[in-house]
Chains A and B, each alone.
Chain A
Amino acid sequence: MESIFFLVVAAVAVLSSILVVTCKNPINSALSLVMTFFCLATFYVMLDAPFMAAIQVIVYAGAIMVLIIFVIMLLNVKAETGKRGTHAVLAGSVLGLFVLFLTCWFLIKGSLTGVPGTITKAQIVAEGHTELIGKAMFTEFLLPFEITSILLLAAIVGAVILAKKKI
């Protein structure tokens, strides 16, 4: 049962990602990408990470994609016209397929060498996923957390300055 569900969601994800790459109209690409994000959120739920799924939808699908669609509409980006250079398409496709080949080879030939930890599904259900993430983030990963906040501040300032009409 689960595997059929997984297969369906995976097929939708792959299909919409192909649409992202191939659509001429950028709005179509953006909406396909939103679809992909939703599929990924589903995967996160299947992997016992509901909090991450929620964050995925809120941040990626909700904020980033909205921003992108705003910009597309602001700049009034038309559908792509004109002939594309086939050399670039061919070379890019070949390389991308090569990347796929490599990663699959890794998967087949490699073995899982990581040391298993203690967080089991039972614990996630018992303690709550959000609480677990919070515990890890605010103790072990406190410094990256603080740095990330400064990063966001810099991004805000940068975005405002770059897009202004007059400085």
Chain B
Amino acid sequence: MFDLVWLIPLCPLIGSVINGLLGKKIKNETIIGGIAAGSVFASFMVACGILFQLLSLPAEQRVFEKTIFTWIQSGNFKADIGFLIDPLSAIMLMVVTGIGFLIHLYSIGYMHGEEGFYRYFCYLNLFTFSMLCLVAGNNLLLMFIGWEGVGLCSYLLIGYYFHKKSAGDAGKKAFVMNRVGDFGFLLGLFTLFWYLGGTHNVWTVNFRELAANADLIPAGALVTAVCLFFFIGATGKSAQIPLYTWLPDAMEGPTPVSALIHAATMVTAGVYMIARMNFLYIKSPTALLVIACVGAATALFAATIGTAQNDIKRVLAYSTVSQLGYMFLAMGVGAFGAGVFHLMTHAFFKACLFLGSGSVIHGMHHALHHEHSDADPQDMRNMGGLKSKMPITFITFLLATIAIAGIPGFAGFFSKDEILWQAFANPHHHQANILLWAAGAVAAGLTAFYMFRLVFMTFFGKTRLSDKAFHHLHESPWVITVPLVVLAFLSVVGGYIGVPAVIGHTFGNFPNYFELWLDPVFAYSKHYVEASGAHGVHNVALEWGLMGVSVLIACGGIGLAAALYLINPGFPEKFVAAFPVLHRAVYNKWYVDEIYDFMIVNPCKSLGQFLWRGFDVVVVDGMVNGVAATVRGFSGLFRHVQTGFVHNYAFTMVAGVVLIVGVYLFR
């Protein structure tokens, strides 16, 4: 089955090409959706097969590399198109193809009746192909191709409703910010390649070869620089401070796009990249500290913004940014396995949340349409009491929310708790650890608060819709609810493969299966840390204690949300009236977009204007027009030679002869 790994990216690519070229002719929505979803399902089957084959092998042999062909061979540099199968890429493949398939299925129902139906599925398949290249590629260049490809498809899909100016703007914003990050990625790639090749004559960008030669790279300024460059790329792609502002705007795209790209797959590319390059990152404590701080700060910052938003998708977008902050926090403290685990569980419950919100919006849109009202179907202030009318959506949404809030027993609890414990107990950043843990804990409380605020405002209480509209609300069709059910189920049980060791040992010697599975990938880092002699904290009682603290914080958040939005619905307005400045700042996203506009965007625009008016029009056009004007001027002078008089011509001829003869004579 390993040999068929090339089928995994190929099937979505074929689906994309067919839908792109022939989609307009195939008018039947079922066929288009079937081709798209079917191709991803085929990839999913192959990925399952690969996973089972990996499981059957002993741990040391779980690595397989297949080269399709050599792409570039130039002097010392060789890059091929090839795929690497190891435990990390197997997980990523399952997540991408599995959730991708569910979202393709969901989209068939959600995008029903849209004019650009085939275009949507073409782009979605192209995105899946790029993402699969990213996670399965065996060298940095192929990963970069996938990296750029997902950025492109993100732009195409965010700007799907291109008739709306806001959608086009959001797409451009996403692409430009991604490109800024990609520049950092390229700088890191070049520096690493140049260093290894120039100093040690190892010319490669292949992951396994890089890992095998990792000992050649000394700890110091160079490896810190490389790590930070790659991290800049990760901040762009995975929406961390400072390059996160594109993600909330990206909610202009259709909801399944938000679910797939901005919850489950593209934004996790940065996390995957750091996990892949863990042998570099472990050598640079400075880079790890930077990553951890940025992650923790983002988690906290985004959580604060999420508490005041009214658009259901915006809340989820800021929640995504915040949870990604958690993943980077994990990476930054050296807990690579925990970060990848949170990536997986987050994919489950965030996709479920987004798809659920899509179902809600779908229903609201339908209901408001009947009433001929143009109220915003995405604004939570127009919702309320939906649980009686959309029960399946409600239950799946509630399950996913409980998971994200970190209630014990559900998937989010195990992953988030592991991260918080590692933040506290890791051997790398001794003084900063407690601050990192505190930031993470506060963010967890805020997460629980605003997620349950969302649930209470949307599903509970008295409805704020009119009676006529409320009457027309109904549950979504099966293509929408079946993926919701599957994802909710995974949100509940998906965490049990990664139960932290401390809990597992209490209930009967169960190890952390997920961490064991990923051990071969992070083995180098583990040895490096042990060899350096750094010690983490290993206190079982402390670990249980901190776990309890985080559960308490989560319950506190839920309680506060219940108090404010369920029991005493009038209180929030009084709170807002009491702190108007604070509320305005938080509601307006701490004015970060405005600051960027002022500091970066407007100077760039002015420079562009100047270069256009001052340089392009005056200098370039001036030169071109000047040449033409000069020619015209000269020809205007010369045409006076043609007088039409024979005498003038004869005179000129004789004068010319005299001149030439004279020159010869007197030379």
Interface residues in chain A, defined as those with a beta carbon under 8 Å from any beta carbon in chain B: 88, 91-92, 95-96, 98-99, 102, 105-106, 109
Q: Quick check: is B654 within 8 A (CB to CB) of the other chain? A: yes
Within 8 A of A (CB), among B612-667: 647, 651, 654-655, 658, 661-662, 665
Contact, CB under 8 Å: B661 / A102: yes
Contact, CB under 8 Å: B651 / A95: yes
Contact, CB under 8 Å: A99 / B662: no
Q: Considering only CB atoms, which chain A residue lies closest to B666 in the complex?
A: A105
**Residues of the A chain whose Cβ atoms lie less than 8 Å from the Cβ of B665:** 102, 105-106, 109
Cα–Cα distance between A154 and B658 once the two chains are bound (Å): 33
Q: A92-B651, A102-B658 are in contact. List 7 more A-B contacts (CB 8 A).
A: A95-B651, A95-B654, A98-B658, A99-B658, A102-B661, A105-B665, A106-B665
Chain B: number of interface residues, binned into ranges: under 10
Q: List 19 A-B contacts (CB under 8 A).
A: A88-B647, A91-B651, A92-B647, A92-B651, A95-B651, A95-B654, A95-B655, A95-B658, A96-B654, A98-B658, A99-B654, A99-B658, A102-B658, A102-B661, A102-B662, A102-B665, A105-B665, A106-B665, A109-B665
Cα–Cα distance between A109 and B658 once the two chains are bound (Å): 17
Q: In the assembled complex, how far is the CB of residue A152 from the closest CB belonging to chain B, in whole angstroms? A: 26
**Residues of the A chain whose Cβ atoms lie less than 8 Å from the Cβ of B658:** 95, 98-99, 102
**Residues of the A chain whose Cβ atoms lie less than 8 Å from the Cβ of B647:** 88, 92
The count of A-to-B residue pairs whose CB atoms sit within 8 angstroms is 19
Cα–Cα distance between A96 and B655 once the two chains are bound (Å): 9
Q: In the assembled complex, how far is the CB of residue A109 from the closest CB belonging to chain B, in whole angstroms? A: 8
**Residues of the B chain whose Cβ atoms lie less than 8 Å from the Cβ of A109:** 665
**Residues of the A chain whose Cβ atoms lie less than 8 Å from the Cβ of B651:** 91-92, 95
Cα–Cα distance between A164 and B655 once the two chains are bound (Å): 37
Cα–Cα distance between A99 and B655 once the two chains are bound (Å): 9
Interface residues in chain B, defined as those with a beta carbon under 8 Å from any beta carbon in chain A: 647, 651, 654-655, 658, 661-662, 665
Q: Considering only CB atoms, which chain B residue lies closest to A109 in the complex?
A: B665
Cα–Cα distance between A106 and B657 once the two chains are bound (Å): 14
Cα–Cα distance between A133 and B29 once the two chains are bound (Å): 101
Cα–Cα distance between A88 and B643 once the two chains are bound (Å): 14
Cα–Cα distance between A106 and B661 once the two chains are bound (Å): 10
A-B residue pairs, 9 tightest by C-beta: A95-B654, A98-B658, A102-B661, A88-B647, A99-B658, A95-B655, A102-B658, A102-B662, A105-B665
Q: In the assembled complex, how far is the CB of residue A18 from the closest CB belonging to chain B, in whole angstroms? A: 19
Cα–Cα distance between A92 and B658 once the two chains are bound (Å): 13
Cα–Cα distance between A109 and B664 once the two chains are bound (Å): 13
Q: Considering only CB atoms, which chain A residue lies closest to B654 in the complex?
A: A95
**Residues of the A chain whose Cβ atoms lie less than 8 Å from the Cβ of B654:** 95-96, 99
**Residues of the B chain whose Cβ atoms lie less than 8 Å from the Cβ of A106:** 665
Cα–Cα distance between A98 and B662 once the two chains are bound (Å): 10
Cα–Cα distance between A109 and B667 once the two chains are bound (Å): 13
Cα–Cα distance between A95 and B651 once the two chains are bound (Å): 8
Cα–Cα distance between A98 and B666 once the two chains are bound (Å): 14
**Residues of the B chain whose Cβ atoms lie less than 8 Å from the Cβ of A105:** 665
Cα–Cα distance between A102 and B658 once the two chains are bound (Å): 8
Q: In the assembled complex, how far is the CB of residue B359 from the closest CB belonging to chain A, in whole angstroms? A: 93
**Residues of the B chain whose Cβ atoms lie less than 8 Å from the Cβ of A92:** 647, 651
Q: In the assembled complex, how far is the CB of residue A82 from the closest CB belonging to chain B, in whole angstroms? A: 15
Q: Considering only CB atoms, which chain B residue lies closest to A91 in the complex?
A: B651
**Residues of the B chain whose Cβ atoms lie less than 8 Å from the Cβ of A98:** 658
Cα–Cα distance between A91 and B648 once the two chains are bound (Å): 10
**Residues of the B chain whose Cβ atoms lie less than 8 Å from the Cβ of A91:** 651
Q: Considering only CB atoms, which chain A residue lies closest to B661 in the complex?
A: A102
Q: In the assembled complex, how far is the CB of residue B652 from the closest CB belonging to chain A, in whole angstroms? A: 10
Cα–Cα distance between A79 and B658 once the two chains are bound (Å): 32
Cα–Cα distance between A68 and B56 once the two chains are bound (Å): 118
**Residues of the B chain whose Cβ atoms lie less than 8 Å from the Cβ of A88:** 647
**Residues of the B chain whose Cβ atoms lie less than 8 Å from the Cβ of A99:** 654, 658
**Residues of the A chain whose Cβ atoms lie less than 8 Å from the Cβ of B662:** 102
Q: In the assembled complex, how far is the CB of residue A89 from the closest CB belonging to chain B, in whole angstroms? A: 10
Cα–Cα distance between A105 and B661 once the two chains are bound (Å): 11
Q: Considering only CB atoms, which chain B residue lies closest to A105 in the complex?
A: B665
Cα–Cα distance between A102 and B663 once the two chains are bound (Å): 11
Cα–Cα distance between A125 and B548 once the two chains are bound (Å): 144
Q: In the assembled complex, how far is the CB of residue B425 from the closest CB belonging to chain A, in whole angstroms? A: 108
Cα–Cα distance between A96 and B662 once the two chains are bound (Å): 14
Cα–Cα distance between A106 and B665 once the two chains are bound (Å): 7
Cα–Cα distance between A88 and B662 once the two chains are bound (Å): 22
Q: In the assembled complex, how far is the CB of residue A87 from the closest CB belonging to chain B, in whole angstroms? A: 10
Q: In the assembled complex, how far is the CB of residue A132 from the closest CB belonging to chain B, in whole angstroms? A: 33
Q: Considering only CB atoms, which chain B residue lies closest to A96 in the complex?
A: B654
Cα–Cα distance between A132 and B647 once the two chains are bound (Å): 42
Q: In the assembled complex, how far is the CB of residue B417 from the closest CB belonging to chain A, in whole angstroms? A: 108
Q: Considering only CB atoms, which chain B residue lies closest to A85 in the complex?
A: B647
**Residues of the B chain whose Cβ atoms lie less than 8 Å from the Cβ of A102:** 658, 661-662, 665
Cα–Cα distance between A162 and B605 once the two chains are bound (Å): 73
**Residues of the A chain whose Cβ atoms lie less than 8 Å from the Cβ of B661:** 102
Q: Considering only CB atoms, which chain B residue lies closest to A103 in the complex?
A: B661
Cα–Cα distance between A105 and B651 once the two chains are bound (Å): 21
Cα–Cα distance between A95 and B659 once the two chains are bound (Å): 11
Cα–Cα distance between A96 and B651 once the two chains are bound (Å): 10
Cα–Cα distance between A88 and B651 once the two chains are bound (Å): 9
Cα–Cα distance between A88 and B648 once the two chains are bound (Å): 9
Cα–Cα distance between A105 and B662 once the two chains are bound (Å): 10
Q: In the assembled complex, how far is the CB of residue B635 from the closest CB belonging to chain A, in whole angstroms? A: 26
Cα–Cα distance between A95 and B661 once the two chains are bound (Å): 13
Q: In the assembled complex, how far is the CB of residue B69 from the closest CB belonging to chain A, in whole angstroms? A: 71
Cα–Cα distance between A102 and B651 once the two chains are bound (Å): 16
Q: Considering only CB atoms, which chain A residue lies closest to B655 in the complex?
A: A95
Q: In the assembled complex, how far is the CB of residue B111 from the closest CB belonging to chain A, in whole angstroms? A: 80
Q: In the assembled complex, how far is the CB of residue B426 from the closest CB belonging to chain A, in whole angstroms? A: 103
**Residues of the A chain whose Cβ atoms lie less than 8 Å from the Cβ of B655:** 95
Q: Considering only CB atoms, which chain B residue lies closest to A110 in the complex?
A: B665
Cα–Cα distance between A96 and B650 once the two chains are bound (Å): 12
Q: Considering only CB atoms, which chain B residue lies closest to A92 in the complex?
A: B651
Q: In the assembled complex, how far is the CB of residue B41 from the closest CB belonging to chain A, in whole angstroms? A: 87
Q: In the assembled complex, how far is the CB of residue B383 from the closest CB belonging to chain A, in whole angstroms? A: 97
Cα–Cα distance between A102 and B664 once the two chains are bound (Å): 11
Cα–Cα distance between A95 and B647 once the two chains are bound (Å): 12
Cα–Cα distance between A81 and B569 once the two chains are bound (Å): 118
Q: Considering only CB atoms, which chain A residue lies closest to B645 in the complex?
A: A88
Q: In the assembled complex, how far is the CB of residue B53 from the closest CB belonging to chain A, in whole angstroms? A: 94
Q: In the assembled complex, how far is the CB of residue B46 from the closest CB belonging to chain A, in whole angstroms? A: 87
Cα–Cα distance between A136 and B658 once the two chains are bound (Å): 34
Cα–Cα distance between A109 and B661 once the two chains are bound (Å): 14
Cα–Cα distance between A95 and B662 once the two chains are bound (Å): 13
Q: In the assembled complex, how far is the CB of residue A118 from the closest CB belonging to chain B, in whole angstroms? A: 31
Cα–Cα distance between A68 and B511 once the two chains are bound (Å): 127
Cα–Cα distance between A48 and B75 once the two chains are bound (Å): 87
Q: In the assembled complex, how far is the CB of residue B573 from the closest CB belonging to chain A, in whole angstroms? A: 101
Q: Considering only CB atoms, which chain A residue lies closest to B662 in the complex?
A: A102
Q: In the assembled complex, how far is the CB of residue B556 from the closest CB belonging to chain A, in whole angstroms? A: 110
Cα–Cα distance between A106 and B666 once the two chains are bound (Å): 10
Cα–Cα distance between A102 and B654 once the two chains are bound (Å): 12
Cα–Cα distance between A44 and B658 once the two chains are bound (Å): 28
Cα–Cα distance between A91 and B662 once the two chains are bound (Å): 18
Cα–Cα distance between A153 and B298 once the two chains are bound (Å): 101
Q: In the assembled complex, how far is the CB of residue B651 from the closest CB belonging to chain A, in whole angstroms? A: 6
Cα–Cα distance between A122 and B521 once the two chains are bound (Å): 118
